[in-house]
Structure 1
């Protein structure tokens, strides 16, 4: 009997939680940092000039994100650094993470230049503490991060007694890193981090805080399907290049579209495996460029298919494919250049952070959370998908009318047989056209926030799985059909 997924996950969480307590007694997971890359010296470890005794270290085989999600990872050594010094989390973009776990984004130089500090208040009085004297935990950005502005608050140590806590505007910062803002905002250490470009303003009277709203992970088997799909894309491209009769304008457009999808999927796989952090930003902009190019090629295929099928002149116009290339690659370049400029100009301005594409921050890709996604991805995709649906509808109506007119010239028996052939052949033809003309990609414009509702969540899951296997579907529909095999045998 299968256990429900919720029960199974709960059991795993309890197991991992027990392991966490056993590894470093009395230390919360979120008080630890990865020190796998640091060599042991005299029964201690030196982490950012902080000497941590070996008794405060332990091995972990998971990552805890604090939102009920635990990811099994390779066994690694962690140290309870917050037991040695007060901690403060400051987010690090994916593009600045080094293979050894360090973050090279210029934070140390910025702290040395501006010398920021905070006030820690205990029962014994108030103490001004420079950030350079604290243990700085370099957090990752999460998928649904949101920037908020906080001003006029006070910091308190864990020992402070909470009295008259209903006082308006009072914010308590415990030594364990928890923010408690009356009843309006309660943030534990793993639920927020400071933004790096914070310290040249009115800090610490006011600051920009990044709040972790949610975290997503890949669907089971998603990467494996994506890899198989990429292989199928390569095979389809090879077949179309090998068979001369398939190297017409439509075939060339399909090749360009599948090539864009192949490189796009390859970058996605490498990004998810964290193998391209060294070239995270260039890979992210390339990913966006290829995403837009692939969508544009689907629209070009839709337009060209409609044009060819409804035109009386079947002779291919000279330079048509060249014109398509100019349109697709130039449009994709302009769109990519636009998001690059937006990121480059406003990256250091926290007030604009929520509206930035954030390439290289959360992952090596454009963020897919917040209303701004309609500017960079969903909006353009919706326009192109609507165009594709329109072209498919016009093409389907034309084919239906032509098939209907042909039936009028047959006798009653032939008409009956022809009707059966019409159903099977036409519907299969419509299926191929709907896939090649990119009809299904309209489901990718469903807002990420809508996936919190059960219906749209399942629509999104089905869409994600289907489009991860898009190369497989194309291979089956275009290569494994009888006419293609006949051409392949004759070549």
Structure 2
């Protein structure tokens, strides 16, 4: 019976060993930092000149959000640094985040140069201690999609645990804000700007994998349209241009999600904005051209029409991107205008999408989507009218010949409507729903379905445009 006893003790030891390397006891997640890239020295770790004993470290397999929800991530080592030294959370724009996760904006040197400090208030609100920021642990936080700038005067208290006391009955917890990084050469801390996290954004599970498959389908669709001569008409060229723009947009978005754009975040962000806007304008052009072709008596396209479309799309997208860049360049350091800036490279590498930033993305997209819906409606009405006239004519002929039968369900017509709705980009209208509405639980579920659909949009395009009978026939004949 000795062997089973040894096995039981071994299993018990492994359980306790595993537990000892898990979450750090009596340590808030937001008091920890990732030290996966820090080498162990004897029985401690050296992080920003702070020697952290191994007893204050633990392995974490999740990322915690401000609403205390968790997302599974790769196992990594974290240390409870705020139990050794007071901590202060300062934001770091995505464009300055390095490959090792640190922030390369030179803030530490700026804090030392200006000898910045803050008054640290005890938890019982009785003692205020002036503490230089260089003697505190600087935790670099990320900007989030719904961030808003808030200006505080000297009527606030910065508590020992990192909580901000704004008034007697209002507190902002440490996970709900971070300090704006470029304000320490002014009248700080009498006047302080903080970035308040109004909401948390999640990456829908499996979206990266779906998007990868979708990108492959985009490539296959482009290859088929370029290979088949008969598909290289004006409509086909417009569709290809729209797909290429969407492909580049989602490729940059995917690379941003997996964190490989460090060092080129700002150029990638402006490129993402350019191709996102271009793909939406191309959908408008496709919608206009399809409606024009359906209602026109002439079947021939002028040779210069595609060139005119291209000049319109690329010039408009470039002009809007240039305006975006100039607005950022002129007012990025004006904190009073921060909530109204596009802020490329702050929240990931893309333009900030909030209620105040609707003018940069949602505004133009909503205008284009309105035209797309209108032209799809007119095209659908025209097709139904023509189909109805044909059926009426056929019915009259059958009546004259004494062969009255039932009018069959026209599946081809409804399949054409489906293709038109996809090509004209009707579903992209849902992306223009305000951020405030997305916080509603019903809209959140609808948007989750929409997000998955748009991640798989390349698959949908491939099925509806390439795997249809006429395209496959042309492919076999080529």
When normalised by structure 1's length, the TM-score is 0.87
Quickly say closer, same or farther: Cα 1:19–1:418, change in 2 above 3 A: farther
Match of 2:10 in 1: none
1:251 corresponds in structure 2 to 236
Could you tell me which residue of structure 2 aligns to residue 55 of structure 1? 55
Q: Any idea what SS the aligned residue of 1:138 has?
A: strand
Gaps of 5+ in 1: 1-17, 154-170
Change (3 A) 1:111 1:35: same
Q: Secondary structure at the match of 2:263?
A: helix
Deviation at 1:131, TM superposition (A): 0.8
Cross-structure match for 1:393: 377
Which consecutive aligned stretches of 4+ in structure 1 deviate over 6 angstroms post-superposition?
Answer: 18-21, 415-418
1:304 deviates by 0.8
Question: Is the Cα contact below 8 Å between 2:121 and 2:159 reproduced in 1?
Answer: no
Partner of 2:274: 289
Q: Which moved more, 1:189-198 or 1:402-411?
A: 402-411
Residues of 1 paired with 2:356 and 2:248: CA distance? Answer: 25
Q: What's the counterpart of residue 29 of structure 1?
A: 29
> What is the aligned partner in structure 2 of residue 433 from structure 1?
420
Q: Kindly indicate whether the alpha-carbon contact (under 8 Å) linking 1:21 and 1:27 is maintained by their aligned counterparts in 2.
A: no
For 1:233-244, list aligned pairs within 5 A: 233-244=218-229
> Does residue 44 of the first structure (1) align with residue 44 of the second (2)?
yes
Across the two proteins, how many residue pairs are aligned to each other?
Answer: 455
d(CA) in 2 for partners of 1:74, 1:449: 31
Q: Distance in 2 between matches of 1:452 and 1:300?
A: 32
State the SS of the aligned residue for 2:46.
Answer: strand
Q: Distance in 2 between matches of 1:376 and 1:124?
A: 47
- 1:345 aligns with one of 323, 330, 342: 330
1:196 is matched with 181
Instruction: Return the offset for 1:274.
Output: 1.3
Q: Is 2:402 aligned against 1:402?
A: no
Is contact 1:20-1:29 (8 Å) kept?
no
Residues 134/454 of structure 1: CA separation in 2 closer, same or farther (3 Å cut) = closer
1:278 matched residue in structure 2: 263
Change (3 A) 1:25 1:404: closer
SS at match of 1:322: helix
The 1-side partners of 2:121 and 2:380 are apart by 72
Residue 93 of structure 2 is aligned to residue 93 of structure 1: yes
Equivalent position of 1:365 in the other structure:
350
Deviation at 1:352, TM superposition (A): 1.4
Q: How far apart are residue 217 of structure 1 and its match?
A: 1.0
Structure 1 vs Structure 2 CA RMSD: 2.2
Deviations 1:267-293 (A, max 9, x none): 111111112122111111111111101
Is the Cα contact below 8 Å between 1:277 and 1:364 reproduced in 2? no
Paired residue for 2:147? 145
For residues 367 and 105 of structure 1, the distance between their equivalents in structure 2, rounded to whole angstroms, comes to: 20
- Tell me the equivalent position of 1:379: 363
Counterpart residue number, 1:224 = 209
Partner of 2:137: 135
Contact 1:407/1:418, CA 8 A, preserved across alignment: no
Indicate how the Cα distance of structure 1 residues 27 and 456 shifts in structure 2: closer, same or farther if over 3 A, else same: closer
**Pair 1:115-2:115 in alignment:** yes
Q: 1:400 to 1:220 in 2, by over 3 A?
A: same
**Shift of residue 183, structure 1, vs aligned partner:** 4.3
Asked whether the 8 Å contact 2:119–2:158 carries over to 1, the reply is no
CA contact (8 A) 1:343 1:356 kept: yes
Offset, 1:372 = 1.9
Secondary structure, counterpart of 1:376 in structure 2:
coil
Write the distance in 2 (CA, Å) between the matches of 1:91 and 1:484. Answer: 52
Distance 1:425 1:55, change over 3 A: closer
Counterpart Cα distance in 2 of 1:301 and 1:267: 24
- Asked if the contact 1:233–1:258 (Cα under 8 Å) also holds between the matched residues in 2, the reply is yes
For 1:30-54, what per-residue CA distance to the aligned partner results, in whole angstroms no more than 9, with x for missing partners?
A: 1111111122234332222223233
Structure 2 match to 1:82: 82
- Cα 1:124–1:455 change in 2 (3 A) is closer
Distance 1:407 1:120 in 2: 81
Taking a change above 3 Å as real, the CA distance of residues 237 and 20 of structure 1, as seen in their structure-2 partners, is farther
Contact 1:230–1:471 (CA under 8 A) maintained in structure 2: yes
Corresponding residue SS for 1:277: coil
Of 404-413 and 229-238, more deviation after overlay is shown by: 404-413
Shift of 1:313: 1.7
Shifted more, 196-205 versus 458-467: the winner is 458-467
Shift of 1:387: 0.7
Greater CA drift, 67-76 or 23-32: 23-32
**Alpha carbons of structure 1 residues 203 and 484: separation in structure 2 relative to 1, 3 Å:** same
Residue in structure 2 matched with residue 156 of structure 1 by the alignment: none
